[in-house]
Amino acid sequence: MRLEIYVANHCENCHEALRLAEVARGVSGIEAHVINLDTTTEPIPSLVIATPMYLLDGRVLSMGNPYPDDLLRMLSQATAAASNDPAQSGDLPQPQESKI
């Protein structure tokens, strides 16, 4: 599963998003990518309305930084659902409000 974390140079909380990206990289089955809106040449998904923003396989996982334990729980639930039944891979945990 692809986790995209959108950050920007002006974002005061994005340093925490960079740390959380490293946490996410430790979850089996997760490919975590940090995309800086100020430097990317790729199209920005219309779902990205603020930074930091977390998308898992193109769906909103969190607007703002979740607590590390919440991020691990959400990623673990999503990967478990995907590995148990590939047809359920679109069933993501509910997006969380920013905690940090």
Under a CB-based contact definition with an 8 Å cutoff, are residues 92 and 63 in contact? no
90: pLDDT strictly greater than 60: no
Enter the tokens of residue 23: 């946490």
CATH superfamily of the 2-81 domain: Glutaredoxin (3.40.30.10)
10: pLDDT strictly greater than 50: yes
**How does DSSP assign 26-84, residue by residue?**
TSTT-EEEEEETTT--SPPPTT--SSSEEEETTEEEEESPPPHHHHHHHHHHHHHHHHH
Domain boundaries, the chain: 2-81
Q: Quickly tell me which residue has 């996982």 as its tokens.
A: 61
Question: What percent of the chain has a predicted confidence (pLDDT) above 70?
Answer: 84
Residue ranges of E strands in the chain: 2-7, 31-36, 53-56, 59-63
pLDDT at residue 82, as a whole number: 87
pLDDT at residue 83, as a whole number: 83
pLDDT at residue 89, as a whole number: 45
- Per-residue pLDDT of 17-63, as tens digits, reads 999 999 999 999 999 999 999 999 999 999 999 999 999 999 999 99
